Amino acid sequence: MAAAEPETYKCWRSNADPEKMLHVICHGGEAFEELPHRIRSLDLGSDQAKARSRTCVRTIAHYWPSRASCSCGARRRSSRPRRARRLPHSAPGHHIGDVAASLRFIPPCLPSIAKAPPAGADWLHQPKLDGYRLQAVKEGRTVRLYTKGGHDWTERLAALADSLRAIPARSAIIDGELVMVDAAGLPSFLKLHLRRGKRAAGLHLFAFDLLHMNGREVCAEPLVARQGRLATLLARSSVPVLHPVTSFEDGAALLAAAEEHGLEGIVSKRADLPYRSGKARSWLKIRVAATGR
């Protein structure tokens, strides 16, 4: 009887994206270092298959830089046995105990532009704050702060990073917005812009998503589950510069309130979907000006 086809091959033949392949490989227990050789063993007869192969290897290089030099067909496999490695945190639900492996920046989910908020119970809506996208990576007593493009701003935002060390978790990755509020308590992008390049004090991080918690990446969980974890974390937090971003069910009403209070707009998100890096239609940004009012 022929052996069952591995999940890796099934994903490949179903034209799955590279990140899904990595998740299947890690979750299923396949050795990570074997992936490039598995790719080379597949039938890459078509140009489309070869393009997907190159994309997959680039994804491997992102999650595991030490393998960046391994490209399909470019190297022969060494006869010397290698010790299998696994992704430290990329697989959904992959537990790493006391955070032995260093956490890394996760490329953020970027909303697509829409003219009006979607209706229906599948969507949650949050106010769009006027600031800088920021990812806070806490590991033990160390906090690193990254911009949307992955630039390390820890030194520039040293006071904020020092405050976030008190987050009540062994490890966490929080996605949020770096905001400075004005005298009326509203986000002021102009004031934040004037503070660029300085060791800014008085900045606040408004958190709207949780990507990792105590050694477990939670990106594969639906938004409502991640927000539940985030709410529990922030309820136990006494960090004065860390605040939750509230979600609402009525997008049209929230957009009207955003216009009334001088906010930029809202972001509508699918409540039942996982976190995906890059541009996504599951996150929609609706600006107040786009309504024509």
Active-site positions?
128
Say how far apart CA 229 and CA 93 lie, in whole Å.
14
Nearest-angstrom CA–CA distance, 164 and 56: 35
Q: Which of 90, 83, 278, 30 is nearest to 39 (CA)?
A: 30
Residues 274, 147: Cα–Cα separation, whole Å: 21
Relative orientation angle of helices 18-28 and 47-63, to the nearest 10 degrees: 60
Query: What gap in Å lies between CA 2 and CA 112, rounded to an integer?
Result: 46
